[in-house]
Amino acid sequence: MRLEVTDRAGQFLELAKIFATAEVSFDKIIQEPLANGKAIIVIVTHPMSKAQENEIIQAMEDNDDMKLKVHFKVLEH
C-alpha cells in the first residue's frame, strides 16, 4: 500500500491502530516526507484476507488525513 498522510505527531499511531483493528501486521514500512506538510508511506504487510484488506481501505477512506494512492496484493509462488 502507498498512501499520502498529513505529517503530524500521532499520525503513525492512527495508522497502526487501523491495521491492528484488522489484525494485520506490518512487514516493512517506509516513510518519505514531502515539502507540503504531507508524507508518503509505503507499507508491506504479512498476508491478509480480502475482508481485512477491505476493512483497512475503508478505515483509510474514512480518515481525512489519509489518502490511499495505490494498493495491490503480492501473490507468493
Record the cell numbers describing residue 76, joined without a space: 507468493
pTM attached to this predicted model: 0.87
Domains, the chain, with CATH or none: 2-70 (3.30.70.260)
What pLDDT is recorded for position 75?
Answer: 64
**pLDDT (tens digit, 9 = 90+) per residue, 36-65?**
999 999 999 999 999 999 999 999 999 999
Question: CB neighbours of 9 closer than 8 A, spacing ≥ 6?
Answer: none
Give the CB-side neighbour count of residue 66, counting CA atoms within 13 A. Answer: 23
